Chains A and B, each alone.
Chain A
Amino acid sequence: SQQGEEDPQALSIQEGENATMNCSYKTSINNLQWYRQNSGRGLVHLILIRSNEREKHSGRLRVTLDTSKKSSSLLITASRAADTASYFCATDGGDSSYKLIFGSGTRLLVRP
């Protein structure tokens, strides 16, 4: 069964606005990662947050993790047209799995 599930599936915002994407998962994890994919290209790693961390920042990115709710959010502040892409969360299976499992992604469109 799918581990990570992003919400919303698609998001359209104006340049300069903030974009928030959510990820829910089902089993315990060691870490959760967010990746970005431009259309038809490979995925690029954005940020990794470990299960004992609650919040992490990287530039205009802010990731939170709530292990009690099995959810994470990715916030992109002051969005730019160049942020238009699909964003995926990826989780491992905790102690039972060494595989990363990706969600279906959120397609973000930032209108100039």
Chain B
Amino acid sequence: ETGVTQTPRHLVMGMTNKKSLKCEQHLGHNAMYWYKQSAKKPLELMFVYNFKEQTENNSVPSRFSPECPNSSHLFLHLHTLQPEDSALYLCASSQEEGRETQYFGPGTRLLVL
């Protein structure tokens, strides 16, 4: 256990659905991240939050909407997704935003039909 939890672990949704992914960290960290991992592609950074403020949006389509209500929780709201958005979505946290060790959750496996 890394101290970072993600729910749900698996999600199947249609292109017209709205769903949310949740991440919670119990490490007292101040920075949280969303990554997308597709088959045969490097891990892609999507969003970064530092002290609840978004500091990075890596040109992510607006159908992905992040929310960080406090330093321990991070959400990724999904709407009108495309089949190519099917991937493993990983949440991570670190003490501060930057170059130090990141602690990852187990991921949410998303399938968009």
Task: Identify the A interface with B (CB < 8 A).
Answer: 2, 30-31, 33, 35, 40-45, 48, 88, 92, 98-105
Contacts and interface: CB of A to CB of B under 8 A. Distances in A.
A32 to B, nearest CB: 10
Contact of B103 (A2, A45, A92, A99): A45
Interface in B1-23: 2, 4, 6
A43 B41 contact: no
A78 B79 CA distance: 47
Interface residues of B, number: 25
Given A2-B42, A42-B107, A92-B99, 10 more contacts: A30-B99, A33-B101, A43-B104, A44-B104, A98-B97, A100-B99, A100-B102, A101-B45, A104-B40, A105-B42
Given A42-B104, A42-B106, A103 B98 contact: no
Given A2-B42, A42-B4, A98 B99 contact: yes
